[in-house]
Amino acid sequence: MKGLLYKDFCNLRQVGKQSLIVLGVFTVWSIFVKNSQLFSMMIPIYCMMMLFTAMSYDEMACFDKYALTLPVTRKELVKAKYILLCLLFAAGILIGSLGGMVLRAFLGSQMSLPEEAISAAAVGFLYLLAFEVLLPLVFRYGAEKARLFLAAVFLVAFGLLYGGFTVVKMTGVQVSLQLVLGVLCTGIILVFAGFFISYGLSVKIIKNKEW
């Protein structure tokens, strides 16, 4: 398991310079629009997108076929990718939160720090749930073909997010810290449930897959 994760991180080192450029672009963009939340919300998404990069490298090298000749089970191949997703999500939340705090101090914000942090985390969990939907598709169709579903899944995620804010505005419900916390807790429950459902589907797919 450690070897599989080490291999993925070695592959992701190849896009290290590109990632620094992306961080710089998001920083400049956030300063330009004077919105520190933009940085804290976009970085987790970008970090999780690296999962597609790692799986694309595996696909190009036909690694899964080679891995089956090693003392590695198909279930471990799936587990390694879900652990990688969790690590990338955690890194995205950490980098996004720290960068957002720095930009917040530089730009100022009308929202309180707890509200801003919880809102960013809620959006992050929503997109983590989207990636949980995508992973079984990646195992079924491959990283490149699964990118075709990427836009549709994120469109649904954006729709849910926008629809939620629209309903709140139309009903005149005041956006309080308690409401945001409630939404966040609900999201965490959905993410945990979705994680195990997604993992089970991916294991079933990979066990029946022929290379």
Q: How many domains does the chain have?
A: 1
Contact 57, 200 (CB under 8 A): no
| 8 Å CB contact between 95 and 123 | no
How much is the pLDDT for 85? 92
For residue 203, give the H/E element and its range. Answer: helix 177-208
pLDDT of residue 82: 93
- The token pair at 54 is 């790692």
pTM, to two decimals: 0.82
**Phi, psi dihedrals of residue 190, rounded to the nearest 5°:** -65, -40
Which domain does 24 fall in, by range?
Answer: 2-208
What is the C-alpha separation between 13 and 119, in angstroms, rounded?
30
Mean pLDDT, residues 92-120: 73
Residue 38 pLDDT: 79
The H-assigned helical ranges of 61-176 are: 63-67, 74-107, 113-141, 143-171
113-133 pLDDT, tens digit per residue, is 666 666 677 777 778 888 888
Q: Number of helices (H) and strands (E), helices first, in the chain? A: 8, 0
Q: pLDDT tier at 190 (50, 70, 90 boundaries)?
A: confident
Q: Out of 113-117, 122-126, 146-150, 154-158, pick the least confident.
A: 113-117
pLDDT for the residue numbered 201: 92
Tokens (6 digits) for 40? 């804290």
Least confident segment among 18-27, 56-65, 172-181: 172-181
pLDDT at 180: 66
